[in-house]
Amino acid sequence: MEDALKSGKHVIMSSKKTLANNLSDFLKLAQESKVQLRFDACVGGGIPIYQVLLNSSSENHIKKIYGIINATTNFILTAMEEHQWSFEQALTVAKQKGYAENEWATDLDGWDAIYKMKILAGLAWKQDLVDQNLQPRSLFEQNGCSFERRGKRQLFYIEEKAGIISYYVGPFDVSKLPAVKHVSGIQNCIMVDYENSGLRNFYGNGAGGKETASIMIEDLLDLLSRKRWFVLEGQVRGERLDYEDMVEKMN
- Quote the CA–CA distance of 236 and 244 in Å, as a whole number: 23
CATH number for the domain spanning 131: value is: 3.30.360.10
The 3-state DSSP composition of the chain as helix, strand, coil percent (nearest 5) reads 40, 25, 40
- Quote the CA–CA distance of 55 and 82 in Å, as a whole number: 37
pLDDT band, residue 240 (cuts 50/70/90): very high
Determine the pLDDT at residue 147.
Answer: 55
Q: What is the mean pLDDT of residues 43-50?
A: 88
Determine the pLDDT at residue 236.
Answer: 86
Helix (H) or strand (E) holding 97: none
Q: 10 Å Cβ neighbour count for 169?
A: 28
* Residues in the chain, total: 251
Those residues with Cβ within 8 angstroms of residue 207's Cβ, 6 or more apart along the chain or in another chain: 45, 71, 72, 75, 98, 99, 186
Question: pLDDT tens for residues 136-156?
Answer: 999 876 444 455 556 789 999
Q: 10 Å Cβ neighbour count for 95?
A: 14
Query: Which region among 87-101, 129-143, 204-218 has the lowest average model confidence (pLDDT)?
Result: 129-143
Closest C-alpha among 110, 121, 39 to residue 74: 110
Determine the pLDDT at residue 232.
Answer: 83
The pTM of the full predicted model, rounded to 2 decimals, is: 0.91
Q: Please give the tally of structural domains in the chain.
A: 1
Enclosing domain of residue 151: 2-250
pLDDT greater than 90 at residue 69: yes
